[in-house]
Structure 1
Amino acid sequence: MIHDYNDLIRLFNGLFRDAENTVLVAGAGEPLYQPADGSCAEDRVIFANGFFASALHEVSHWCIAGAARRRLVDFGYWYRPDGRTADQQLEFERVEVKPQALEWIFSVASGSRFTLSLDNLSGGRSGAEELFRRNVERQAQRYILEGMPRRALLFQQALVRHYRGGEPVRASELHFFMPSAAQSA
């Protein structure tokens, strides 16, 4: 299956351009959420370098952000690049559970590959990577079984119609493969 980010732009903008005054935009560099300002009348979810997965990730953040956060550049979140301390990494993992759970659901809905992101290759490890993985998995399943934010549900439904012919994402599709001790030896 071909995953063209232009399909995501078309689906997202079809749902949210008029209803939420928000557009999805392929950027040339780092991702950014930019609320409407003097240079643009629409809020912009700008994803990195035309990457499909980046678009899904940035949309997931937008789907979770409340009205007040959507008035702030990058939703008012701090971001420390690669090289975070172990404590900073724990905070990153805490705030990334819900967005990464939604990104995973969006990935399954679009038939694309999801990669859990610790996003700190050269920095301090929190020592809780397995806990983070389990928390993302549990949250993704919870969203499927108990419901997700309205904008996330609308986007997921659009992805399912476009990529899966309407076949819904099931909680059973949201499990990380964990090799047994015998397989990893």
Structure 2
Amino acid sequence: MHHIDDLITIFDQLFSTQYNTRLVKGDDEPIYIPANASCGYHQVVFAHGFYASALHEIAHWLVAGTKRRTLEDYGYWYCPDGRDKAKQLEFENVEVKPQAIEWALSVAAGFDFNVSVDNLNGEQTCRFRFQRRVHEQVIALLEGGFNTRTEQLLHVLSDFYKTPWPLSQAQFSWHCPKELLDAV
């Protein structure tokens, strides 16, 4: 049902002409590469052909403003897996909005969403606390509105996958064990 080639086609049809940007299946780590001497278009490169990776990388592109889209990886720092608690909290602060948008893209595409703390070999933080922050952000975006590019893609995904439109808060439920939710 969720074929990566469909997502690539949808993204490219929406954004390749106006933004000179294409979605590219990568072999390794995801990265955003602005147009340069060796490639005349911007590339949103996602990992290993994974649909979830593509949605996540698209979300970062949707968050990035015009200036950031001229910088490799949007000019952000990335501290790899193995972060201590302080670095992990920094990482989560940067990831809240992109993951909220990824969640909205997932719902529009009828695809399961899972937050990613991306720190398997580092100090663990509360995944449920982070998910609650992402949930709060997606609700704020639903209430306040998404940017134009995000709104366009959400609508096309919803149409393509025949999911309810417009998106509603009821579509963004998540489950946390009560004892953990009380602690969060």
Measure, in 2, the Cα distance between the counterparts of 1:18 and 1:61: 19
**Alignment-derived partner of residue 11 in structure 2:** 12
Superposition pairs for residues 159-170 of structure 1, below 5 Å?
159-164=157-162, 167-170=165-168
Measure, in 2, the Cα distance between the counterparts of 1:164 and 1:82: 36
For structure 1, which runs of at least 5 residues remain unmatched after alignment? none
**Alignment-derived partner of residue 173 in structure 2:** 175
Residue identity in the other structure for 1:59: I
The CA RMSD over aligned residues, in Å, is 1.3
TM-score, length-scaled by structure 2:
0.93
Q: Deviation digits for residues 119-177 of structure 1, max 9, x if unmatched?
A: 00110124x53332111001111112220121111111110110025633211111211
Aligned match for 2:141, one of 140, 143, 156: 143
Measure, in 2, the Cα distance between the counterparts of 1:129 and 1:85: 15
- The size of the alignment, in residue pairs, is 179
Misfit runs of 4+, over 3 Å: none
Superposition pairs for residues 44-83 of structure 1, below 5 Å?
44-83=43-82
Measure, in 2, the Cα distance between the counterparts of 1:159 and 1:115: 18
Measure, in 2, the Cα distance between the counterparts of 1:30 and 1:19: 26
Measure, in 1, the Cα distance between the counterparts of 2:173 and 2:117: 17
SS at match of 2:48: helix
TM-score, length-scaled by structure 1:
0.92
Residues 99, 134 of structure 2: 8 Å contact kept: yes
SS at match of 1:33: strand
Residue identity in the other structure for 1:158: V
Residues 110, 163 of structure 2: 8 Å contact kept: no
Identity of aligned residues (%): 45
